[in-house]
């Protein structure tokens, strides 16, 4: 039975894969070529919706338990909730920049590229902290039974199983490892 650590880790693999695809497109744009704007928009839209609704509830449940069972060690991960808020704000700016580009409102290419790259770098750092601090800590300090119970307890909105518009992205992300 997969526990909550397995589930969070699986989510992270999808995120990483999507971030890499986004990064490739931003690199294309940075070179002065025309990127796949539909793909950029789909990934940005996905990242604005999916983590908050379908990923953070799992992390929230795990964080609450770690805060009770291993508060000292958890401090090393920093304020992950605050980081979720900051990343969401940063991504909202990227989305605004993208909307301007798509509406052909003047926005400097360099400005958009820098915003997107900052977001990607920060999101990668966040994933790395969760993968190297939060998840190993959970494995080390929490009984497997607790981790399995959490996985069963966190009920995600129905849409998390079938976000139609994003299925193509996820399939490609899974396929790309």
Assess contact for 9 and 127: CB atoms under 8 A.
Answer: no
Question: Smallest distance from the beta carbon of 80 to Fe ion, in angstroms?
Answer: 5
Which one of 37-45, 108-116, 127-135, 169-177 is the stretch in contact with Fe ion (CB under 5 A)? Answer: 127-135
Using CB under 5 A, pick the residue from 5, 46, 130, 173 that binds Fe ion.
Answer: 130
12 versus 35: smaller Cβ distance to Fe ion = 12
In whole angstroms, give the CA distance from residue 116 to residue 24. Answer: 11
Q: Looking at residues 50 to 79 of the shown chain, list those that interact with Fe ion (rule: CB under 5 A).
A: 59
Q: Using CA atoms, how far apart are residues 7 and 142, in angstroms rounded to an integer?
A: 16
Closest distance to Fe ion from the beta carbon of 12 (Å)? 6
70 or 127: whose CB is closer to Fe ion? 127
Between the alpha carbon of residue 6 and those of residues 3, 67, 105, 144, 168, the distances in Å are 5, 19, 43, 11, 23
List the one residue out of 46, 122, 129, 124 whose CA is nearest residue 80: 129
Q: What is the dihedral of CA 147, 58, 62, 14, to 10 degrees?
A: 80
For Fe ion, give the closer residue by CB, 69 or 122. Answer: 122
**Residue found by looking up tokens 């909105």 in the block:** 157
Quick one: which of 14, 16, 46, 7 has its CA closest to 154?
A: 7
Kindly tell me which of 27 and 48 has the beta carbon lying closer to Fe ion.
48
Residues 18-57 that bind Fe ion (CB under 5 A): none
Q: Is the Cβ of residue 101 or residue 138 nearer to Fe ion in the bound state?
A: 138
Using CB positions, name the residue nearest to Fe ion.
130
3 contacts Fe ion (rule: CB under 5 A): no
Number of residues that bind Fe ion (CB under 5 A): 2
Closest CA to 98 of 56, 148, 140, 47: 47
From the list 23-31, 66-74, 128-136, 163-171, the region that binds Fe ion by CB under 5 A is 128-136
Q: Interface with Fe ion by CB under 5 A: which residues? A: 59, 130
């Amino acid at each position: 039975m997969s526990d909550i650590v397995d589930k969070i880790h699986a989510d992270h693999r999808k995120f990483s894969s999507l971030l890499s695809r986004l990064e490739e497109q931003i690199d294309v744009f940075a070179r002065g070529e025309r990127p796949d704007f539909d793909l950029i928009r789909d990934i940005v839209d996905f990242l604005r919706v999916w983590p908050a609704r379908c990923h953070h509830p799992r992390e929230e449940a795990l964080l609450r338990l770690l805060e009770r069972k291993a508060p000292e060690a958890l401090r090393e991960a920093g304020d992950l909730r605050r980081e979720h808020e900051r990343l969401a704000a940063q991504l909202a700016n990227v989305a605004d920049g993208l909307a301007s580009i798509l509406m052909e409102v003047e926005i400097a290419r360099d400005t958009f590229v820098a915003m997107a790259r900052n977001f990607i770098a920060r999101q990668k750092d966040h994933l790395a902290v969760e993968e190297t601090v939060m998840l190993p800590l959970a494995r080390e300090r929490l009984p497997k039974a607790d981790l399995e119970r959490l996985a069963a307890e966190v009920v995600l909105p129905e849409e998390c199983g079938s976000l139609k518009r994003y299925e193509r992205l996820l399939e490609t992300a899974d396929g790309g490892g």
